[in-house]
Structure 1
Amino acid sequence: MTIDMTGRSASGIAADLRERIERGELTPGTLLPSVRAVAADLGVNRNTVVAAYRQLAQAGLVEARGRSGTRVADRTAVAQEGYAPDTVLRDVGTGNPDPTLIPDPTAALARSTRPVLYGEPVIDPGLEAWARGWMADQLPHDDLLITVTSGASDAIERLLAQALQRDDAVALEDPCFLSALHTVRTGGYRAVPVAVDAEGMTVDGLRDALEAGVRAVICTPRAHNPTGASLSAERAAALREVLAEHPFVLVIEDDHFSLLSRAPLHSVIGPAQRRWARIRSMSKFLGPDTCLAVTASDPDTADGLAVRLTPGTTWVSHILQRMTLALVTDDAVRADIEAAAEHYAGRNAAFAAALTERGLPVSPGDGLNLWVPLPVPAASAREELMRRGWLVREGDPFFLSPDHAGAFLRLTVHDLDDASTTTLADDLAAAAGALRPGIRGGRIEA
């Protein structure tokens, strides 16, 4: 199509198209003119048009589809974690912890209500002292500083904002935790995919991303969401070696499962790294509504993070901070958290074994969810399972690149009892069998 544009710079062209999209002149699905055509019409360099289209893509206004061109994006809601509203189906795609395994905060909250006034330290001294010991594991840096934010996503957003500029590149695991992916995209940064295998982030993928010029790397050392992969000691050492060649790249280690993880921590933050941060959220074991995460980082990064907090919330509620400290230092609560960890691991292992027995091999991994590879399209399997009363989550939204999309489900099964586990495993195997020759009676034929 022909669009009479008026801009001459990348920002001018992008602003012109943005205004037309917002006014509804360019509707979702509209094919934009090719870079070559726009450059010829406006008498500008092609790279100027490429930069304009990239700005619009980073803002979520357009989608680049390779040889199919660039189209106006459909501004539908992005995928999120949580329960699906208004469904009568059994929802096994939530990504939530079990609410019955979240510790009761009532007693801890009652001891956490001393008023705090302007000018007092923004971090509770008791929580800071405890967190320094908790966060220092495997960090080869003695000068770490502690920052408290309103959850891990808040920390990642502020860490990137204090270190990057719009359109800078960020290395993300592929598939990727939804919250990290959305934070990068809404911040206007370019997401560069790094493949994940059974041992976590791949070395070749990280090396390629660094050579492509990423300014930050976000890595999940264990209980990767959605795959459940955890870094082996050998993989972590190899990743540290690659990162050592880029000491000023910001390395963010999101150890989100921490106290619940059944895998040992193998850190990617080595002694050569000058810009680094490790984040641990409380949401998985104290509940999402705790909205608190602790970040350990180098002094420069901590200073930048503190500056990013200043114009906004300034500090996280001291009531929440003290309640958190009271809970995580309570022996009975820690025993409950350990029991929850065993429960999640046990239920996931039971379901993985049930699927494997039915000819659909699955590794239980670590974390709240199971990543299930399928021999049939995930969308078709999802529809079959809906007919059988189940609501599952396709793996597609977790992928940055489409190479492996369409062949995975991410299931949250830790609240299923033995009977429900058997029923879902039977239904999933039967759904795969109904869609693919060679699978009969819920089992793959030899």
Structure 2
Amino acid sequence: MNDWATSGVDLHLDLVGGAGARAGLERALREAVRVGRLAPGTRLPSSRALAKDLGLARNTVAEAYGQLVAEGWLTARQGSGTHVADGRRPSARRGQAAVPRGTGQGAPGDRLTGTSGYLPDPERFAYDLRPGSPDLSSFPRAVWSAAARRALAAAPHQAFGYTDPRGRPELREALAAYLGRVRGVRTRPELLTVCSGFVQAVGLLGRALRAGGARRVAVETPGYAHTVEILRRARLTTVPLPVDDNGAQVGVLGNDVDAALLTPAHQFPTGCPLSPERRTAVVAWARATGAVVVEDDYDGEFRYDRQPVGALQGLAPEHVVYAGTASKSLAPGLRLAWLALPPALVEPVLDEKRLADHHSPVLDQLTLAELIVSGAYDRHVRRMRLHYRRRRDRLVATLAERVPAVRVSGIAAGLHVVLRLPPGTPAAQVVAEAAAQGLGLQSLDEFGGQDTEELVVGYGTPPEHAFAGALDALCALLDARTRRRG
């Protein structure tokens, strides 16, 4: 039957006849959220008002609300009422099976393959263990808000006009000091350019290199497939640069390559650092040939078992472009990245920046500068380093206990690990099975790797409340695969 609740909002519910009152109400609310009739963020009537309108006991409505909050369909906070959760798909609770939404949910063909850090529609998975994203639930909202208020109060009037394409001087000065202190980068504020995310940074740099006569760029393989696409759209030819346990095989670089894009601190996705011998060799190559090395330091802050590897840029700032971002340390939604450029590349990159968007958003730049100068950014990074180390340790220990046939590597740093499956276990099949169960995974071959028996598992992505369930789902899947092989 159809009922209406009119308590500030009209709420149409299809209560199923014959079902218990609470079960019927829960089912009606789930269906309304699932099909989109109740949009994310919608405030629901109070339990007292809805009970009165539906002719139900208030406890019945309160218990139904409580159950749907526990399942993730609704959210409730003291003093602010009950709302539809931000995502239409709730996160499964620990111990529950992750059931996909609709047919073909999370099928590999439905997503951008091998984009490694660009995760479309993450809510289609009950649990998302794809690499490339931090724990967004840990974004320091209160700290960021306080810094934004201080930065806004202190900002000069000129900050709100068209500003230097390189970015606000407050942020460039703060970054120059921070990067030198923490990552060993040798730069000055006038050599830094703030970009609207790493994607823009690579695009600007690629077009500037092309305008300067560059034609061929070596790119680590496996690596960020999205980066290859960006460079090709800048009309550059990309050359695969093989990777082994010592990082990129820079010894194969020759005079016919104009630039090389590396992840020396923590190769993506294999997780190995560039060895000291190869760091020396690639700098010597750049100096001898006049080539440019682009250092993508995407998660250099997160090293757990020893001191962080210093930036390669510190060895040869005249030949190495340092590219950093707040996407892993804070959140990708901020769209804040930076390039520490050799002097010869500053104007070519600025020419491209002026044409792209003139300058990146000012308020977020000022806020990040305030975070760094106040020390709040350092404190947040240290807190997140401990947070992710605990997650890594828990992942490694749980796999060793429940699926000992799986080997784990690339664990010294970053937000992901590589899992080698037992011989004869195709990783692509495991990814497909995981997707059918609502678990997001990626295989090494999606990043250009040739090994078909390795998974790349990101342990940073799940929010804190979902991490235990994500581990359970992963181990259950891998254990089932191992048993079938046996």
Partner of 1:425: 475
Amino acid at match of 2:445: D
**Distance verdict in 2 for CA 1:167–1:240, change over 3 Å:** closer
Aligned to 1:310: 354
**Cross-structure match for 1:207:** 251
Name the SS for the 1:285 alignment partner: coil
Could you list the runs of 5+ residues in structure 1 that have no partner in the other structure? 1-73, 441-446
What residue in structure 1 maps to residue 96 of structure 2?
none
Per-residue CA deviations over 1:227-285 (Å, capped at 9, x if unaligned) read 22223434422332333322x21111111113334452244347667443101101111
Q: TM-score, normalization: structure 2?
A: 0.65
Separation in 2, partners of 1:143, 1:91: 38
**Which residues of 2 match residues 133-172 of structure 1 at below 5 A?**
133-136=177-180, 137-139=183-185, 145-164=191-210, 168-172=215-219
Residue equivalent to 1:183? 230
Number of residues of Structure 1 aligned to a counterpart in Structure 2:
355
> Is 1:258 aligned with 2:300?
yes
Quick check: 1:249–1:275 contact (8 Å CA) kept in 2? yes
Match in the other structure for 1:370: 417
1:294 matches 2:294: no
8 Å contact kept, 1:244–1:270? no
Paired position in structure 1 for 2:245: 198
Contact 2:408 2:420 in 1 (8 A): yes
Change (3 A) 1:392 1:272: closer
Is 2:374 the counterpart of 1:349?
Answer: no
Q: Residue 109 of structure 1 corresponds to which residue in structure 2?
A: 148
Partners of 1:315 and 1:88 in 2: CA distance: 36
CA distance in 1, matches of 2:175, 2:160: 23
Q: Is 2:134 the counterpart of 1:97?
A: yes
Q: Which has the larger radius of gyration?
A: 2
Alpha-carbon distance in 1 for matches of 2:163, 2:399: 54
Asked whether the equivalents of residues 170 and 190 of structure 1 are also in contact (C-alpha less than 8 Å), the reply is: yes
Contact 2:247 2:273 (8 Å CA) reproduced:
yes
CA distance in 2, matches of 1:196, 1:227: 8
SS at match of 1:253: strand
Structure 2 residue matching 1:286: 3-state secondary structure: coil
Counterpart CA distance in 2 for 1:397 and 1:427 is 20
The alpha carbon displacement at 1:425 in A equals 2.3
- Corresponding residue number in structure 1 for 2:445: 396
**In the alignment, is residue 410 of structure 1 matched against residue 456 of structure 2?**
yes
Once residues 318 and 143 of structure 1 are traced to their aligned partners in structure 2, the CA distance between those partners, rounded to angstroms, is 16
Within 2, Cα distance between the matches of 1:393 and 1:315? Answer: 35
| Distance in 1 of aligned mates of 2:335 and 2:219 | 23
CA-to-aligned-CA distance 1:210-238 (integer Å, 9 cap, x gap): 35x12111111223322222234344223
Q: CA deviation at 1:306?
A: 0.9
What is the letter of the counterpart of residue 286 of structure 1?
Answer: L
1: distance between equivalents of 2:189 and 2:275? 26
Q: Which residue of 2 aligns with 1:63?
A: none
Q: Which amino acid aligns with 2:266?
A: A
Q: Distance in 2 between matches of 1:199 and 1:349?
A: 23
Q: Cα gap change, 1:79/1:360 in structure 2, threshold over 3 Å: closer, same or farther?
A: closer
Contact 1:143 1:298 in 2 (8 A): no
CA deviation string 1:385-433 (max 9, x = no partner): 345552311222211xx6x143322212344545642552242133244
Tell whether the 8 Å contact from 1:177 to 1:225 is kept in structure 2 after alignment: yes
CA distance in 2, matches of 1:259, 1:273: 20
Q: Per the alignment, in what secondary structure is the counterpart of residue 339 of structure 1?
A: helix
- List per-residue Cα deviations over 1:41-92 (Å, max 9, x = no partner): xxxxxxxxxxxxxxxxxxxxxxxxxxxxxxxxx9x95554225456354222
> Match of 2:44?
none
Instruction: Specify whether residues 87 and 127 from structure 1 end up closer, same or farther in structure 2 by C-alpha distance, changes over 3 A only.
Output: closer
CA RMSD of aligned residues (A): 3.0
Measured after TM superposition, the shift of residue 377 of structure 1 is 1.2
Aligned to 1:10: none
1:138-165 CA-to-partner distances (Å, cap 9, x unmatched) read 4567797111111122111111111126
Give, in angstroms, the shift of residue 371 of structure 1: 1.9
How much has 1:334 moved relative to structure 2? 2.6
Task: Describe the SS at the equivalent of 1:362.
Answer: strand
Distance in 2 (CA, whole Å) between partners of 1:432 and 1:395 is 19
In 2, distance between residues paired with 1:417 and 1:287? Answer: 18
Partner-residue secondary structure (3-state), 2:242: strand
Q: How far, CA to CA, are the matches of 2:294 and 2:302 in structure 1?
A: 20
Superposition map of 1:217-232 within 5 A? 217-232=260-275
In structure 2, the residue matched to 1:19 is none
Name the structure, 1 or 2, with higher relative contact order (CA <8 Å, separation 6+): 2
Pick the aligned partner of 2:288 from 245, 263, 267.
Answer: 245
Q: Partner of 1:343: helix, strand, or coil?
A: helix
1:120 shift after superposition:
4.5
Distance 1:142 1:96 in 2: 29
CA distance in 2, matches of 1:426, 1:78: 25
Give the deviation of 1:333 after TM superposition. 4.3
Provide the residue aligned with 2:51 in structure 1. none
Q: Which amino acid aligns with 1:413?
A: Y
With normalisation by structure 1, the TM-score equals: 0.71
- Separation in 1, partners of 2:321, 2:269: 22
Q: Within the alignment, does 1:385 sit opposite 2:434 as a pair?
A: yes
What's the % identity of the aligned pairs? 23
User: For structure 1, which segment, 265-274 or 151-160, has the greater mean C-alpha deviation from structure 2 after superposition?
Assistant: 265-274
Contact kept in structure 2, 1:280 and 1:293, CA below 8 Å: yes
In structure 1, what residue type is equivalent to 2:148? L
Question: Closer, same or farther in 2 for the Cα pair 1:273/1:334, shift >3 Å?
Answer: closer
Listed as ranges, the gaps of 5+ residues in structure 2 are 1-108
